Amino acid sequence: MYVHTPINGVLHRADLNQPLDIAIPLKEGAETVNCFYAPLFETAPVVAGDFVGSTAQGGLVNFLNLRLNPHGNGTHTECVGHIAREPYAINQCLKKFHFLARLVSVYPTQNVNGDRVIQRSQLEDVLEGECPEALVIRTLPNTDDKTRRHYSGTNPPYLHHEAIDYLVELGVHHLLVDLPSVDREEDDGKLLAHRAFWKYPDAVRTNCTISELIFVKNEIKDGWYLLNLQIASFEIDVSPSKPVLYALEQHA
């Protein structure tokens, strides 16, 4: 099955039978991505009298409780409710789920403090003033240990708030990154990149989202894609998510 979309006036199509999953699987144990000192993702069967919600333990069905922190346990999508005092929910802010997207690869540069940061000038160079509603950023070097890395206390790369300003100027509504956060791990609560992206609190962009802790394999080339951004219908600021890309090819 194909869907069609124009890029710069030229019709392109995406094959929906060829998905490119850029979410990190959420699994139990320490061999999975984790950040901000969040407890590890866990499951436990419901036990009630003679009932055990685990077929491995002799139960008739698997009926598990989950413990997870969406911000710290894997790929997630968040809305302005992540930083706002007002109760914004991801299920209310994200109402469309398909977007024209652009994938770019960027080496964070070292600043005077030794931090690795994506600067505005880097995005200006790679985007050249052209970007659709959704932008997917793959940081370099790109290795598969990103799917199991524990980021807490490591001061991972992040985006300079002026780089975010540039994306807002271009009209980017959905930003996806393979980092724990668009902001510095410890920034004294400034959250400059988050605030810049959502223009909080002065002109809040409630229909915009940030997805973090994605993983884009090296064989997926930079370029234009159709993005399907899937969430659970959580009435909180964030949801575990499953962003999926579909390659676009020019259609005669």
pLDDT, tens only, 25-36: 999 999 999 999
| CB 179, CB 213: distance < 8 Å | yes
State residue 250's pLDDT score.
86
Average pLDDT, the chain: 96
User: 115 is written with which tokens?
Assistant: 């931090």
So what's the pLDDT on residue 31?
95
**Spatial separation of the C-alpha atoms in residues 250 and 252, rounded to whole Å:** 6
Is 60 domain-assigned?
no
Which residue is associated with the tokens 């055990």?
Answer: 52
Residue 51 lies in a domain: no
Q: What is the DSSP letter of 80?
A: G
Average pLDDT for 42-48: 98
Determine, yes or no, domain membership for 40: no
Give the model confidence (pLDDT) of 189-205 as tens digits: 999 999 999 999 999 99
Domain for residue 42, yes or no?
Answer: no
In a domain, 236, yes or no: yes
In the chain, the number of structural domains is: 1
Give the span between the Cα atoms of 202 and 84, in whole angstroms.
Answer: 11
**Domain interval for residue 135:** 2-33+70-250
Q: Has residue 99 been placed in a domain?
A: yes
Around Cβ 141, how many Cβ atoms within 10 Å?
A: 8
> Does residue 118 surpass a pLDDT of 90?
yes
**Is 43 inside a domain boundary?**
no
Query: 161-170 and 120-127 helices cross at what angle (nearest 10)?
Result: 30
Note the pLDDT of residue 252.
64
pLDDT of 9 over the 90 cut: no
Confidence of residue 251 (pLDDT cuts 50, 70, 90): confident
Q: What is the pLDDT of residue 2?
A: 84
C-alpha closest to that of 128 among 173, 99, 168, 170: 170
Q: What is the pLDDT of residue 3?
A: 85
Judged against a pLDDT cut of 70, whether residue 107 lies above it is answered with yes
Q: How many helices (H) and strands (E) does the chain have?
A: 4, 17
Categorize the per-residue pLDDT at 8 as very low, low, confident or very high, splitting at 50, 70 and 90.
confident
Q: Indicate which CATH number applies to the domain containing 171.
A: 3.50.30.50
Model confidence at 212: pLDDT above 90: yes
